[in-house]
Structure 1
Amino acid sequence: MIVITLTKVPPALRGDLTKWCQEIQTGVYVGHLNARIRDYLWERIITSIGRGEATMVYSAKGELGYEFRTTRRDYQVTDYDGIPLMTHLKVAPGTPQPGFSNAAKFRRAKIMANRNLNKQVPPTESPVVTLDLETTGLNLLKDQIIAIGAVKRTLTGEIATFERFIKPARVVPQSITDLTGITTEQLRERGLDLKVALEQLQTFVGDYPIVGYHFGFDENFLRQACQQNGLASLTNKMVDLQPIVQRVELFLDNYRLATVLKKYGIKNQRPHNALADAQATWQLADHLIKNGDFRI
């Protein structure tokens, strides 16, 4: 037995789930699937969830007789002596705390100053960070981030790049090495601890808006990684370019990043390289901004 609950997800994902499960109530799906199909279905959910949330409960051997997975921000799955528990977080990671400390006043003053500066910045020079991740797979609970790439345009128009590799907790699957060119040996030699890389990323992006392509996947992995490492989740404005492109370009054969880049004449010399993908996404965002289709 398997139960899946969805909130605020794209309609296409709801329709996709009805191929495997029965919707007994809005956003609640029930089915009977084997482990392989169950894991495959969860991967489909993660890659298609957008900014929505999902929870899956399924039968499993153990004291409870079931296990669960979730992408919810206000809950965290915790392993307690082999027993999975759903921990309710009183404050979701990254949620601003009420109050007016000096730090809060300083931050508010900085935001207001940036807003005033933004009014003077032409749309084509809007400050923005594009971000891309490479992971060992699609499973939010079992797989890990192995590379982070980002490109930043500052308020003054300067361009900066960020690239970090992450020490692996396990051997990188051969299929991922074939896809990305990243090997276990490379990560062991050049990789940082994930927590250190995330802290450096947070410093790099600051409070700039973060843009990605098919970004729900990356956003979920980032949030999970921050929770697991005791860090506050990024509270920056997050923008997924895919829905924007789908609205603007109605007649593309598909909306994979490679197809969209070709449409806009953007060359990505190293697909599935985090920094190269972030650079290509930056060029795409720049095209959309200049065309008036996207504004930060």
Structure 2
Amino acid sequence: MIVITLTKVPPSLRGDLTKWYQEVQTGVYVGNVSARIRDLLWERIVRNLSTGEATMVYNAQNEVGYQIKTTRKAYAVVDFDGIPLMMRVNQSSEPVKHGFSNAAKFHRAKMMAHKSIKKHPQKMTTQIASIDLETTGLDVTKDDIISIGAVKRLSNGENDHFYRLVRINHEVPKKITTLTGISSEMLESEGTDLESALNDLSIFIEDATVVGYNLKFDELFLSESFKKVNQPGLSNSMQDLMPKVKKINQFLDNYRLETVLQAYEIKNPTPHHALADAQATLNLAFKLMENGDLKI
């Protein structure tokens, strides 16, 4: 049996622990994993505590049958004749002069820089447009684009929207219709041909920097589709948000767009709809820019 208590830790760390332990009360986790996994998880906890604290109690072959590890600064684990005890560390009665060490100076500079970014978001010097596609499958050599959504932020702060349904020469698979709500009948009655859709998209985007989530997927389909209609592909600068989110948030359960949007408190009422996903992706890009995690 292993018991871990956490206080004032990042939410991502709490979520990560629930993969191996059960949270029986806020900040209290109970589980039973191997010693190797236990030690690896403890290293992970210590590495990602930020300003929080953690204590772990686990089975051990000693007088009391358990051992203690803690990061609490006011306590130290001591061995008293084979019995682990939590000893309060004597605190200095003199006031601590903060900022005298290089580490403290670096931390203060980092915090001030972060505050500065938050207070003064990046100014828009480049137009930004987001793109999302719905396709009949994942194979770029066999499957087709059935809808294109794009959203562009204008200089006045408003958004301009682009959406096209694209006709194809075969039936839309039932699972794709279930996922996206797009049927063969819709494409036939409301869709346009691929060449017109791509030409309209190029005109809409102009020279904007293009952002997307898992953008490489969309780039491959767009590149292949432009070749099919003998049009030059997009030459815009591209920014894929997925690798940036993975670097920033290492403890998300997964990196599907729905999960990431929830983590950043961005609403998307109609997922798997190209225009709605493009709008949510643009909102994610601006959220990352506000946080200082994305520069365009």
Scaled by the length of structure 1, the TM-score of the pair is 0.58
Letter in 1 for 2:184: T
Q: Which residue is 1:123 aligned to?
A: 122
Q: Which residue is 1:235 aligned to?
A: 235
Q: Indicate if the aligned counterparts of 2:150 and 2:278 stay in contact, CA closer than 8 A.
A: yes
Q: Which residue is 1:221 aligned to?
A: 221
Letter in 1 for 2:154: T
**Using the alignment, how far apart are the partners of 1:236 and 1:271 within structure 2?**
26
Q: Indicate if the aligned counterparts of 1:212 and 1:281 stay in contact, CA closer than 8 A.
A: yes
Q: Which residue is 2:11 aligned to?
A: none
Question: Can you list the C-alpha shifts for 1:88-130, whole angstroms capped at 9, x where unaligned?
Answer: xxxxxxxxxxxxxxxxxxxxxxxxxxxxxxxxx9625452000
Q: Which residue is 2:247 aligned to?
A: 247
**Using the alignment, how far apart are the partners of 2:170 and 2:227 within structure 1?**
20
Question: Can you list the C-alpha shifts for 1:198-228, whole angstroms capped at 9, x where unaligned?
Answer: 0000000001010000111100000000011
Q: Which residue is 1:153 aligned to?
A: 153
Q: Indicate if the aligned counterparts of 1:127 and 1:157 stay in contact, CA closer than 8 A.
A: no
Q: Which residue is 1:262 aligned to?
A: 262
Letter in 2 for 1:135: T
The 1:136–1:186 alpha-carbon spacing in structure 2 relative to 1, beyond 3 Å, is same
Q: Superposed, which structure 2 residues align to 1:269-284 within 5 Å?
A: 269-284=269-284
**Using the alignment, how far apart are the partners of 1:132 and 1:157 within structure 2?**
21
Letter in 1 for 2:289: I
Q: Indicate if the aligned counterparts of 1:210 and 1:237 stay in contact, CA closer than 8 A.
A: yes
1:186 paired to 2:180: no
Q: Indicate if the aligned counterparts of 2:121 and 2:289 stay in contact, CA closer than 8 A.
A: no
**Using the alignment, how far apart are the partners of 1:158 and 1:263 within structure 2?**
25
Deviation at 1:253, TM superposition (A): 1.2
SS at match of 2:236: coil
**Using the alignment, how far apart are the partners of 1:124 and 1:211 within structure 2?**
17
**Using the alignment, how far apart are the partners of 2:195 and 2:122 within structure 1?**
34
Q: Which residue is 1:84 aligned to?
A: none
Letter in 2 for 1:139: D
SS at match of 1:253: coil
Q: Which residue is 2:200 aligned to?
A: 200
**Using the alignment, how far apart are the partners of 1:288 and 1:222 within structure 2?**
25
**Using the alignment, how far apart are the partners of 1:189 and 1:123 within structure 2?**
43
Unaligned runs of 5+ in 2: 1-119
Deviation at 1:154, TM superposition (A): 2.5
Q: Superposed, which structure 2 residues align to 1:97-116 within 5 Å?
A: none
**Using the alignment, how far apart are the partners of 2:121 and 2:266 within structure 1?**
23
Q: How many residues align?
A: 176
Q: Superposed, which structure 2 residues align to 1:50-69 within 5 Å?
A: none
The 1:122–1:249 alpha-carbon spacing in structure 2 relative to 1, beyond 3 Å, is closer
SS at match of 2:138: coil
Q: Which residue is 1:23 aligned to?
A: none
Q: Indicate if the aligned counterparts of 1:133 and 1:149 stay in contact, CA closer than 8 A.
A: yes
**Using the alignment, how far apart are the partners of 1:273 and 1:124 within structure 2?**
30
Q: Indicate if the aligned counterparts of 1:124 and 1:289 stay in contact, CA closer than 8 A.
A: no
Q: Which residue is 2:141 aligned to?
A: 141
Q: Which residue is 1:52 aligned to?
A: none
Q: Indicate if the aligned counterparts of 1:172 and 1:183 stay in contact, CA closer than 8 A.
A: yes
Q: Superposed, which structure 2 residues align to 1:7-22 within 5 Å?
A: none
The 1:177–1:124 alpha-carbon spacing in structure 2 relative to 1, beyond 3 Å, is farther
Q: Indicate if the aligned counterparts of 1:266 and 1:283 stay in contact, CA closer than 8 A.
A: yes
SS at match of 1:281: helix
**Using the alignment, how far apart are the partners of 2:221 and 2:265 within structure 1?**
29
Q: Alignment identity in percent?
A: 49
Q: Indicate if the aligned counterparts of 2:121 and 2:290 stay in contact, CA closer than 8 A.
A: no
Question: Can you list the C-alpha shifts for 1:24-51, whole angstroms capped at 9, x where unaligned?
Answer: xxxxxxxxxxxxxxxxxxxxxxxxxxxx
Give RMSD over aligned pairs.
Answer: 1.4
